[in-house]
A and B are shown apart, each in its own frame.
Chain A
Amino acid sequence: MKLSGGDLLMRALKDEGVKFIFGYPGGAALHIYDSIFKQNACEHILVRHEQGATHAADGYSRATGKPGVALVTSGPGATNAITGLATAYMDSIPLVVISGQVQSHLIGTDSFQETDMIGISRPIVKHSFIVQNTQDIPRIIQEAFHIATTGRPGPVVIDIPKDKTDPSKLYEYKRAKEVSLRSYQPRVLPHPGQIKKASKKILSAERPVIYAGGGVILGNAHKELISLNKLLKAPVTNTLMGLGAYPAKDKYFMGMLGMHGTYQANMAMHNADVIIAIGARFDDRITNTPSMFAPNAKIVHIDVDPASISKIINADIPIVGQVKESLLALIKEIKRSKIKIDSEALDNWNIQISKWRAQHGLNHDLYLSKIKSSMIAPQVVVQELYHATQGNAFVTSDVGQHQMFVAQYYHFNKPRRWINSGGLGTMGFGLPAAMGVKLAFPKQEVVCVTGEGSIQMCIQELSTCLQYNLPIKIININNEALGMVRQWQDMNYGGRHSASTYADSLPDFVKLAQSYGHVGMKVTKQSQLKKTLDKAFAMKDRLVFIDVYVDPNEHVYPMLVAPNGSMKDMWIKKNTKA
């Protein structure tokens, strides 16, 4: 049977196993929308803004490990998708974003709703395609999914001029058995010589640290990471993107590292003699001043992307390979090796880390404090949330202080449970991302922890949640300010709060939630907090928006001292450096 371009597209998406398309229609995409109407393999989720479509597809992907799919129209539809593409690109999330384009003969004429989507998105996609022949659509879809999901994953854009989906032009559907591109060989296995060297270096370490990032989660290698450390018994830290890659409850886990990492994790990194970096990229939020980074450490760096190795910090033993295969090879080599790790040195090292933890570690029992302050501490909100959900929820977040408090205080024991925009730091990500997660896991608790600033960036998606019945729980940590901005202004700009407050003009979030057909609750006292959370989570089939007023003066600590600081230089509370 011959199919139109739109039908070819839908057939190809079905064959890729796509369940959901997050999208928003418009002129250039209307042929495609008609093809969507005629099929039922993929459910289309109508968002309220194209940014929401890309974030929802992104959240879906982060939670499931499968690629997310979004569909937008040309011009403003395409440009609205840009923030979501950049967000996915920075965190290496596999997305396929399909944009309608004006008809081929109009391209380049400044025609109605024409933008050069390929040009605009070029620096923030892994790859992009423009459809020139309708019959290529199935091949392009196959290649797009292949590219998005293999190697270091990332978003792929497919721009389809309207005439290529003309319903009157029909073509044969052909699907190749497998995709092979002569210019793209993503599968890389670790070099055995490098594995040997790494094993030797690691086993002769006295103060090793495992520094594991989002690559462990993307590469589905958390089990291998745990196995590796069953052998090594080394202290482990996860990046913001890596939380959940190593179980937070494990005794060797030190918490997150970096800008707002724990004291013990940052101190361990600074004082390490061997750092085993796995699927992490030495981001500037981690290293602080690169020339002052971990002065005595030899670096073993495992990454699937050779360009991430020795980009910021020189790797002494680079291992280019899939994380999973590399860890398996390393485990095998360590088991086989005659060198035995110096367990006495390692014990001393782990004791040292316990000391650091006791000195300036996070207090995870703030919520138990008998002295009830008049204002709720934002950290307590996260701790109560953790207990209310038994640590089992999928938690999405936005960007700011609330995001860091979740990273610090919600203990993630499994991968793909913590869903946040780490690399780009996109406010507005949390709610639409939670929609994608909830669609993928309708029976699981999905919580969006947000701030009153961030939530207003994609608040319109509350309407989508009503349409598709997505009973997410939204915890709005309301400090009546762009808290993280204000923190910086407190610390670096003499407390001049330039354009970071708006207490008198905030909406009534309870009424706002209600006007979208959801439940709204407001909490202003700590005594109400636990009860309200329990009540909200008992409402299984309703979206509940919980507006929690917190102490607006709270800062996130620890915080690395910058500029010209190393990882050991931290503010541990207001006006106090460690």
Chain B
Amino acid sequence: MKRIISILIENKPGALARVVGLFHQRGYNIETLNVGPVFDGSYSRMTVTTRGSENDVEQITKQINKIIDVIKVSDLTEGDHHEYEFIMIKFKQSEKIKKILKSLNGKIHEKDKDAMVMSAWGPSSDIEVAIRDIGKANLLEIARSGSIGLHEGEKVLKI
């Protein structure tokens, strides 16, 4: 099952590599990865999506927690949460693609007679469906932010 793991990590040299390396060392795959500094910029928030059983995810989160630079780890999928992904797509003029993206908060950033750049965002499951529906025809380039997410309600992940 798909898991969304949020990690607060010191903004120190090599810190990111330690997390990414760990997934490989322990035999888990990273499906998407997003990272950026938050609050005062002394630490970053990473969001990693992966697949695995309850046990797998327990092991992953415990192992991530052991990384000295990691401040906090939380499995968003354990409870209710908000989760979104942002994508940008360059494509040859296509009404079909435009329509799909419009249905996902789509926005046009560039338009000339041949190509078009649009962005869209939504729950990553919708993004997945959209990407599948778009197919290969007319598609030139695509970039994904990877999932990001927050706990629902009172629960917050900060230091």
Please tell me if the beta carbons of A311 and B18 are within 8 angstroms of each other in the complex: no
Most buried by B among A123, A126, A128, A183: A183
Residues of A within 8 A of B94 (CB): none
A 123-152 binary contact with B (CB < 8 Å = 1; else 0) = 100111010100000000000000100001
Please tell me if the beta carbons of B66 and A305 are within 8 angstroms of each other in the complex: yes
The answer, yes or no, to whether B104 is at the interface (CB within 8 Å) is no
Residues of chain B in range 50-105 having any CB-CB distance to chain A below 8 Å: 55, 58-59, 62-63, 65-66, 68-71
The verdict on A307 contacting B63 (CB below 8 Å), with A118-B14, A122-B18 known, is yes
Please tell me if the beta carbons of B14 and A183 are within 8 angstroms of each other in the complex: no
The verdict on A182 contacting B71 (CB below 8 Å), with A123-B25, A130-B14, A306-B65 known, is yes
A128 to B68 Cα, complex, angstroms = 9
Residues of chain A in range 287-338 having any CB-CB distance to chain B below 8 Å: 305-307, 310-311
Most buried by A among B13, B58, B62, B65: B62
Residues of B within 8 A of A184 (CB): 68
Please tell me if the beta carbons of B68 and A127 are within 8 angstroms of each other in the complex: yes
Residues of B within 8 A of A152 (CB): 66
The answer, yes or no, to whether B129 is at the interface (CB within 8 Å) is no
Chain A: CB-nearest residue to B14: A118
Inter-chain residue pair count (beta carbon < 8 A) = 38
Residues of B within 8 A of A130 (CB): 13-14
Chain A: CB-nearest residue to B42: A182
The answer, yes or no, to whether B36 is at the interface (CB within 8 Å) is no
The answer, yes or no, to whether B17 is at the interface (CB within 8 Å) is yes
Residues of B within 8 A of A182 (CB): 71, 159
Please tell me if the beta carbons of B59 and A307 are within 8 angstroms of each other in the complex: yes
A311 to B63 Cα, complex, angstroms = 10
Please tell me if the beta carbons of B71 and A183 are within 8 angstroms of each other in the complex: yes
A426 to B112 Cα, complex, angstroms = 64
A305 to B10 Cα, complex, angstroms = 21
The answer, yes or no, to whether B37 is at the interface (CB within 8 Å) is no
A147 to B69 Cα, complex, angstroms = 11
Residues of A within 8 A of B59 (CB): 307, 311
Least distance between A107 CB and chain B CB atoms (Å) = 11
Please tell me if the beta carbons of A128 and B14 are within 8 angstroms of each other in the complex: yes
Least distance between A132 CB and chain B CB atoms (Å) = 7
Please tell me if the beta carbons of B62 and A183 are within 8 angstroms of each other in the complex: no
A126 to B67 Cα, complex, angstroms = 8
Chain A: CB-nearest residue to B8: A183
Please tell me if the beta carbons of A306 and B71 are within 8 angstroms of each other in the complex: no
Please tell me if the beta carbons of B21 and A122 are within 8 angstroms of each other in the complex: yes
A119 to B24 Cα, complex, angstroms = 14
Chain B: CB-nearest residue to A147: B68
Least distance between B98 CB and chain A CB atoms (Å) = 44
The answer, yes or no, to whether A499 is at the interface (CB within 8 Å) is no
Please tell me if the beta carbons of B10 and A119 are within 8 angstroms of each other in the complex: no
A204 to B82 Cα, complex, angstroms = 46
A 178-200 binary contact with B (CB < 8 Å = 1; else 0) = 00011110000000000000000
The verdict on A119 contacting B13 (CB below 8 Å), with A183-B70, A184-B68 known, is no
A446 to B119 Cα, complex, angstroms = 70
The verdict on A126 contacting B13 (CB below 8 Å), with A307-B62, A307-B63 known, is no
Chain B: CB-nearest residue to A186: B68
Please tell me if the beta carbons of B69 and A183 are within 8 angstroms of each other in the complex: yes
A306 to B65 Cα, complex, angstroms = 9
Most buried by A among B55, B62, B63, B68: B68
B 1-36 binary contact with A (CB < 8 Å = 1; else 0) = 000000001100110011001000100000000000
> Interface residues, chain B, CB within 8 Å of chain A?
9-10, 13-14, 17-18, 21, 25, 55, 58-59, 62-63, 65-66, 68-71, 159
Q: Closest 4 A-B residue pairs measured CB to CB? A: A307-B62, A127-B68, A183-B71, A123-B25
5 A-B residue pairings within 8 Å (CB atoms) = A123-B25, A182-B159, A183-B68, A305-B66, A307-B59
